[in-house]
Chains A and B, each alone.
Chain A
Amino acid sequence: MIGRRSRVKSVLIHAVLITVTVVTLFPVALVMRKSLSPGNEFELSLNPIPEKTTISHYKTVLSARDFSGRWLFGRQLWNSFVVAVLTTIMGVFLASTAAYALSRFRFPGRRFGMMIFLVVQMFPATLIMIPLYVILDRLGLLDSVLGLVLVYSTTAIPFCVFMLKGYFDTIPRELEEAAWIDGASRFGMFWRVVLPLSKPALAVTALFSFMTAWNEYILAETFLNNEASYTLPVMLKHYVGDKSADWGSFAAGAILVSLPVMALFYMLQKALVSGLTAGGVKG
């Protein structure tokens, strides 16, 4: 009796889960299909497997050139990459020392500092976008990689601080004390003990800030004017404007741009969850 009931139950559970999963995967499958099938519009079909296959969309995206014959995809890829890498470096470099101080020292203003980092991390950069735009305009940094890196750092630094502080807190102080007894300086303790021990956390943090910068759309859209200086998200958006939409190229581009970061995401998501939920709460 009990066996039968639980079997019915598990079938039901599976049915629900399968339905939800299909609904979840369907849009992505459609994009996959579109990227491989000819034509610029979505087809009138629910079948996610393409009837005719072509790689022409991928070719279009990869070989796009502007008026003066510059290879757009290459440039945009490079822009995205440079922006993301510089943001990561800036974030991790500045944040690792700050996170260490917040984790190990007790000093006046510590709680306040933590609070500022938390508040900034919670509130999006979109809020200070307007003043940033005005300031960068005055400084002549619109449309430049440097300007965008500065803007992205506003979100990257607090995020990195929190992720790293959470991890530093888990490293036992005894290790540092041992190093201290062996004659290491304060900086030596940080540099030779704590940092090597937190390599995994550093890697995760770095990859996350890389991903965030890589995936950012609206700030890039606002701050960049020139096709050759676009990052990849801006390029993708421009395939599907209001009046004319090339969904094929968009789909192909979306897959090219997002597959690597999606893979990264899957590798890292557990760390992200613990970082997001644990890092912020403990004072």
Chain B
Amino acid sequence: MKQRTASLRGVILTWFLGAVVLGVFTLGAMVRQRNLATRASNERAARQRLADLQGPVRIALARGETARVQELLEGAASRADVSEAVLLRSKTLSTNLAFLRDVHLVAHGDRTIGVGPIRGEVRSRALSPAYAKQLYDWTGRVLERKRTDLRWLSPPGVAERMEVGQRISLPKGDYVLGLRVRPLIRPVAVPVLLLVVLLLMGLAVPLANRAATGRWQWLASGAGMAFMGAACGVLLAGYETWVVRAPASTGVGGLLSTGISQGVPGGGVGYVWGLVSLVVLGLVGLAWRGTGHRVASAFKEHRIAMAYIVPAALGMIVLVLVPFAVGIVLGFFNHCDGRFEYVGLANFTDILSGGGTSVTDPLNFWFTLGVTLLWTSLNVVLHVSIGLGLALLLKDPLLKGKGVYRVLLILPWAVPNYITALMWKGMFHQQFGAVNQVLGVFGIDKVSWFSHFWTSFTANVVTNTWLGFPFMMVVTLGALQSIPTDLYEAAEVDGASKWYQFSRITLPLLKPALLPAVILGAIWTFNMFNVIYLVSAGEPAGSTDILITEAYRWAFIRHERYGLAAAYATLIFLILLAYSLITNRVAKGAEGTFK
């Protein structure tokens, strides 16, 4: 009975809060409608001026971008993927660099300075001297060496970033013109209808819940939660488009209409609303399942335990769960120039379809995934076999100097891994590196390690093997000690061979200790950012990047595409989750056999 009233109350509450949320969104939509209109007319004007600009600007085009920039400058500005002109000055160098990367077009007076995207470690946010030193273009020509020397990039009296429609006036003399070209992802309309349907279904479920009993009740509640969650997701992800598009025609018709969004200024508000609605809907979900009451009473009953757990739980929610949720939501957005706009599943489809690249292209998701899997399995195999081998050697009770070996062999584990990575990068240097020296002793010519895929990949693997075997060795040593020696004595008496002893006694008894270590090691390796990023840095041409470094590159090195990077991270998370669910079963199975 209690359950019934609870779910009835829940239904009413859900309707009420749902109405509030919808109301807020509609209001927001109306307010923003005006901004949008202004924006659209500004954009038209800006495009006109852009077209006018082509005369005096000396243009150099990069590979791949040619067509788009040219089109733009020839006045074919009606394309949806080019929406604004940005004129930059180097008030902050970072902006300039971001622009250089994005634009592939730099003109300096009459002289064409830079051509193509800048390679190397250029970050968007800041430029330390070390980074400035690396500033060179894709032809390998050094553009500039020092931070201060880059100041000439500043055209006097021009705003750092122009708002769309602001007049661009170029003084005679030095200037830099940047045309920010949007990535080719097109915004997708939010399926408002779908949202409404989801909400309704979410509400229909508790009604079914009232009639159901026992196990079915749980199922119904679960389904309700899922629908609600899906609605939340759509709502969150679609906010921007919603507000933009809905009022095209007023009323319900407007809300249900679909369309294309052009990002709204101040996208941050969207997050706040998104998070608020998430919380609200979460609460609604709880209340409506009748769990609100149960949670409250559980809190009362276990209030001491809760008092202990709450600080850490809050910390985790704020520090992990919220960013995590934001990360997933970000995957549905495209970031361009400080703005986020909803693009639906475009990021995911872009990644999974390879974004127009073939499977052999380093930028292709499947290629990177393949490299990552190869990288992980190879490393784990090497770690375990070397670790196990050494542990077996060190096991011998009669061996002298065991302690010394042990202490020396775990050294790689003690060295911070970024130092290891940099150290090995130095050792793989073509001219001065120790590795080529050693090879030279055997009469092998100097290898340019980072200019071929396999050599570069090998360099990464060698580094990571050096780094990772001690952990496996130590774990195995510990586990070996717990195997009773009389087992071996008994086997010896029965005339079992060494191999037989190893495969029938050692390995099975090592399994419970080794398996968790292997699972953990695989996850570590899968995400071994530092080694890849610092040793090969993805060279040649990003082919040795693993998923996590690839995601990082999209966010912080290429184009600040946070949305795409977040979608990558989500995919990585899903892969890891699937992996741990599978291995969890395997581990449990293994545990079971020894009980």
**Chain A residues near B (Cβ < 8 Å):** 6, 10, 13-14, 16-17, 20-21, 24-28, 30-31, 41-46, 90, 93-95, 97-98, 100-102, 104-105, 107-109, 113, 116-117, 119-120, 122-124, 126-135, 138, 142, 150-151, 153-154, 157-158, 161, 186, 190, 214-215, 217-218, 222, 225-227, 233, 236-245, 247, 250, 254, 257-258, 261-262, 265-266, 269, 273-274, 276-277, 280-281
Residue numbers in A under 8 Å from B487 (CB-CB): none
| Distance in angstroms between the alpha carbons of A144 and B590 in the assembled complex | 46
A-B pairs, top 10 by smallest CB distance, nearest first, are A98-B312, A225-B126, A105-B305, A101-B308, A131-B327, A217-B418, A238-B130, A215-B416, A107-B302, A131-B326
Contact of A233 among B418, B475, B520 (CB under 8 A): B418
Chain A residues within an 8 Å CB radius of B556: 133, 222
Contact status A243-B305, CB under 8 Å:
no
A44 vs B156: C-alpha distance in the bound complex, in angstroms?
50
Of B16-24, B197-205, B239-247, B317-325, the stretch lying at the interface with chain A is: B317-325
Q: Which among B129, B130, B327 has the highest number of chain A CB atoms within 10 Å?
A: B130
Asked if residues A126 and B552 are in contact (CB atoms below 8 Å), the reply is yes
Tally of A-B residue pairs with Cβ under 8 A?
262
B133 near A241 with CB under 8 A, answer yes
**Is there an interface contact between B419 and A13, defined as CB atoms closer than 8 Å?**
no
Q: Report chain B residues within 8 Å CB of A257.
A: 416, 419
Contact A127 B516 (CB under 8 A): no
B interface residues, Cβ below 8 angstroms from A: 94, 120-121, 125-126, 128-131, 133-134, 136, 142, 268, 271, 298, 301-302, 304-306, 308-309, 311-313, 315-316, 319-320, 322-324, 326-327, 330, 390, 393-394, 396, 398-399, 401, 405, 407-420, 422-427, 429, 431-434, 437-438, 441, 466, 474-475, 478, 513, 516-517, 520, 523, 527, 529-530, 533-534, 537, 548, 551-552, 555-556, 562, 565-566, 569, 572-573, 576-577, 580
B312 and A157 within 8 A (CB): yes
Known: A21-B409, A227-B128, A240-B425. A134 touches B419 (CB 8 A): no
Determine the chain A residues whose CB is within 8 A of the CB of B417 once the complex forms: 215
Q: Is the interface of B mostly helix, strand, loop or mixed?
A: helix
Dominant secondary structure at the A interface = helix
13 contacts between A and B (CB under 8 A): A24-B408, A24-B412, A25-B408, A27-B424, A97-B311, A102-B309, A127-B327, A131-B326, A142-B125, A237-B422, A243-B134, A245-B426, A277-B516
User: Which one of B120, B316, B412, B420 lies within 8 Å of A120 (CB-CB)?
Assistant: B316
Using Cβ atoms and an 8 Å threshold, which residues of chain A touch B433?
A: 42
User: In the assembled complex, how far is the CB of residue B14 from the closest CB belonging to chain A, in whole angstroms?
Assistant: 23
Q: How far is the CB of B595 from chain A (nearest CB, A)?
A: 13
The distance from the CB of A104 to the nearest CB of chain B, in whole angstroms, is 8
Residues of B within 8 A of A21 (CB): 405, 408-409
Chain A residue, CB-CB nearest to B517: A277
Contact A128 B126 (CB under 8 A): no
Chain A residues lying within 8 Å of B429, measured Cβ to Cβ, are 42
In the complex, chain A residues whose CB is within 8 Å of the CB of B121 = 241-242
A277: B residues at CB distance < 8 A: 475, 478, 513, 516-517
Q: Which residue of A lies closest to B479 (CB)?
A: A277
Determine if A261 and B438 form an interchain contact, defined as CB atoms under 8 angstroms apart: no
